[in-house]
Structure 1
Amino acid sequence: MNRIIRIVSRLLLGFIVYGLAIVVMIHANIGLSPWDVLHQGISLKTGFSMGQISITVGVIIIVIDALMGEGIGFATLGNVFLIGTFLDIFENLNIVPYATNLFFGMIMMIIGIILAAIATVLYLKPALGSGPRDGLMLAINKRSTKSVGTIRAIIELAALTLGWILGGSVGIGTIISGFGLGYAIQIGFKISHIESKSLIHQSVYETIKLFNKNEKEEISQVETCAEVDKQ
């Protein structure tokens, strides 16, 4: 049970930090990160919040991930529904200031990238399912000779292009995050000794099955100890 609490706490922290990271990058005010350019572009066209759009886009990408054979786990579902939720919460709390000049904007963008990389490592390491966008990155990585950083950059540039067409905000911060985030995650993987090509995520079904198995084994051990005590 303690292990489950630690894992859930780690995942939740990762989702909270990622939601905060997105807000920090938005408030850097020097151009949105590629995915947020897309989310903002769709938001401008539909009237829904960026958090709501992030959730919707995440659901669509989950379907693509599943078709590419990437497992859908509890962390995947949490990523889709919680990061967008925390994004909206932090925006509504209005606790992150807006940068008023280019220098502070670039500092905030770098901080946001570091936070996003830390968050990614936090929720990927338990291997309970990658985020939908990370799942797409990892699925392609396993089928190519390109590094995870390069693949992340290509995916985000594609999202950027579509978002820009829809009216999303593009600036120097977009370029920094577009190239920087993938490599920041790659560095985080190395520091945490995570090998992206060998990551095997548990699906929701596999996690539930393993939990039930462990629970039965614990009950069996308790019953065995009880029998020994009686003797």
Structure 2
Amino acid sequence: MNKQELNKMLKNLPRLFFGFFLCALGISMMLHADLGISPWDIFHKGLSTQTGLTFGQASQLTGLLVIGVSIPLGILPGIATILNMYFIGFFIDLINKSGILSTPSVIISKLILIYLGMIVFSAGVFFYLSSNLGAGPRDGLMIGLVQKLNKSVSLIKTVIEISVLIIGYILGGPLGIGTVLIAISFGTILQTIFKIGKFDANSNKQLNLKEQYKILFVDDSTASN
């Protein structure tokens, strides 16, 4: 067991879960703006319509498929990848049940809410990625493509968002003006948050499950022999 690395992992857990909560809050804000769901959620809804899966099951299946695509890019799942799939959904349900958010009646207020949601979600992505405990399935794919193609976060995320939007719409997912705003704006907002937080997606290294297993269970003296 590498005690120094273990302590570092434990210290990053609050940062990880704070990031998950911000992601959930950002998603809830965008949903309450009532201008249209995100491209990924359109894909989930379309997949659900075509397969008979529930929305949650379609989201989980998508996560597994994205992990499968990411592995050849060198992005292996970590502890945070697994936790991401459960806890963001858990926090979304918690926030929605609390009633702290409501849908504005004025279009300008709706636009403000959806953009604030994107900012909050992007901050959440920054916090949980900077914990280095593993990227979520979709963000892992984004980072893998950024590093593989040596392109900006803004460009890669925008291409991914527009691609899943088109596929989701073809599958029967609903499309709204907010969906288009999210697709064309999210990448730039996330890139800006990364710059503010000095997070370099091109050189970032996420711990995967194999590395985390060694930290937790492999004795240092044994590993060095």
> TM-score normalised by the shorter chain: which range applies?
0.7 to 0.9
CA distance in 1, matches of 2:137, 2:109: 31
Aligned AA (1:139): G
Deviations 1:129-160 (A, max 9, x none): 11111111111111214211101000011111
The higher relative CO (CA closer than 8 Å, separation ≥ 6) is in 2
CA distance in 1, matches of 2:60, 2:90: 8
TM-score for both structures, normalised by structure 2: 0.85
Deviations 1:171-211 (A, max 9, x none): 22112211221111111111121111111111112123124
State whether residues 52 and 84 of structure 1, in contact with CA within 8 Å, keep that contact through their aligned partners in structure 2: no
- Please name the residue that 2:141 is paired with: 136
TM-score for both structures, normalised by structure 1: 0.83
**Residues 94 and 42 of structure 1: CA distance in aligned 2, closer, same or farther (over 3 Å):** farther
**Residues 15 and 208 of structure 1: CA distance in aligned 2, closer, same or farther (over 3 Å):** same
- Deviation of 1:216 after TM superposition, in Å, equals 6.4
The correspondence for 1:201, drawn from 194, 203, 206, is 206
- Please name the residue that 1:48 is paired with: 54
- Deviation of 1:52 after TM superposition, in Å, equals 4.0
Aligned partner of residue 149 in structure 2, secondary structure: coil
- Deviation of 1:168 after TM superposition, in Å, equals 2.4
**In the TM superposition, what are the counterparts of 1:14-29 in structure 2 within 5 Å?**
14-29=19-34
- Please name the residue that 2:120 is paired with: 115
CA distance in 2, matches of 1:112, 1:55: 22
Aligned partner of residue 70 in structure 1, secondary structure: coil
The 10-residue stretch of structure 1 (100-109 or 2-11) with the greater mean CA deviation from structure 2: 2-11
Deviations 1:3-61 (A, max 9, x none): 44431111111112212211211111111121122123334453624x44322311221
- Deviation of 1:212 after TM superposition, in Å, equals 4.5
The correspondence for 1:159, drawn from 136, 154, 164, is 164
Q: Name the count of aligned residue pairs.
A: 215
The correspondence for 2:94, drawn from 89, 92, 95, is 89
Provide runs of 4+ in structure 1 moved above 6 Å.
none
Rg (Cα) greater in structure: 1
- Please name the residue that 1:67 is paired with: 72
- Deviation of 1:167 after TM superposition, in Å, equals 3.0
- Please name the residue that 1:146 is paired with: 151
State whether residues 73 and 148 of structure 2, in contact with CA within 8 Å, keep that contact through their aligned partners in structure 1: no
Aligned partner of residue 81 in structure 1, secondary structure: helix
State whether residues 13 and 131 of structure 2, in contact with CA within 8 Å, keep that contact through their aligned partners in structure 1: no
The correspondence for 1:103, drawn from 108, 111, 116, is 108
The correspondence for 1:179, drawn from 165, 184, 193, is 184
Aligned AA (1:48): T
Aligned AA (2:165): L
Aligned AA (1:210): I
CA distance in 2, matches of 1:169, 1:2: 45
**Residues 93 and 60 of structure 1: CA distance in aligned 2, closer, same or farther (over 3 Å):** farther
Please tell me the root mean square deviation across aligned C-alpha atoms, in Å: 2.2
